[in-house]
Amino acid sequence: MRFQRKEKYTIDDLLKIMEILRSPEGCPWDRQQTHQSIRNNLIEETYEAVEAIDTADKVLLREELGDVLLQVVFHAQLEKEKGGFDFSDVADGVAKKLIERHPHVFGDVSVRDSEEVLKNWDAIKMRAKGRKTLADVLEGVSPALPALMRSQKLRKKAAKAAGQTIRFQETALGVRDAVRQIEKLPDSAKPEDKMEKVGKLLFSAVGIAESCEIEAEQALAEFCSRFVRQYKTENRG
């Protein structure tokens, strides 16, 4: 395989390397992969990049961002081979999206603050996606998101569409009501009934996180880490 090694590579080199790996003379494993077979790799690499952000590890973050980029390049190469799209189309699409959704930077729109920027972003996104109703907006929240994150997005979008603010007292009442419903369940209750009631409780609890202006996903993740540290401390020796 004729390939020129360099002191430092560029994105063009990365695209070429992926093309070589997928070629008949390349790697047997890489040639076998599909969008579905490497789907979880994208999720795992993204979470590892998030971990590097949370630990403020810049060296690790650089590596993990590279791994995330590799997944993007891999998926783009798969589509290029099928005549779908390629990496340049991905870059072109996101560049156009940024220009379109920042008319206060690339156009003649004036904004007062970040809040108005977000409001304009949502309005432009709805027009671009052809979303006219609240149902359209809610369906646009990806079901592939972690459940806590999806719940908070759904609650936030529903409240915004209704012109409401998610208030602590109201969400706390919802949590207490959900707990009471679980307490009333008989021991013989069907698993699907228990699942529904517990799901309602968790969805209500996410409302409390939103009313406190914190990310539910992050709050639970940090508490899990504290739980592990506390357990290790208490069980030393």
CB atoms within 10 A of CB 204: 21
Structural domains of the chain in order of their starting residue, each with its CATH number: 11-94 (1.10.287.1080), 145-234 (1.10.287.1080)
What pLDDT sits at residue 237? 55
> Which phi and psi (to 5°) does residue 19 adopt?
-60, -40
**Each residue's pLDDT tens digit, 208-222:** 999 999 999 999 988
What pLDDT sits at residue 42? 94
pTM: 0.74
What pLDDT sits at residue 140? 84
- Cβ proximity of 175 and 201 under 8 Å: yes
- Maximal CA-CA distance, the chain: 71
What pLDDT sits at residue 233? 80
What pLDDT sits at residue 150? 93
4 Ramachandran zone, left/alpha/beta (phi>0; psi -120 to 50): beta
As a 3-state breakdown, the chain gives helix, strand, coil percent values, each rounded to 5, of 70, 0, 30
What pLDDT sits at residue 1? 64
Distance of CA 2 to the CA centre of its chain: 39
Closest of 156, 135, 162 to residue 211, by C-alpha: 156
Q: Concatenated DSSP letters for 153-190?
A: HHHHHHHHHTT----HHHHHHHHHHHHHHHHTS-TT--
Enumerate residue ranges in the chain where pLDDT < 70. 1, 237
Alpha-carbon gap, residue 24 to 31, rounded angstroms = 8
What pLDDT sits at residue 123? 83
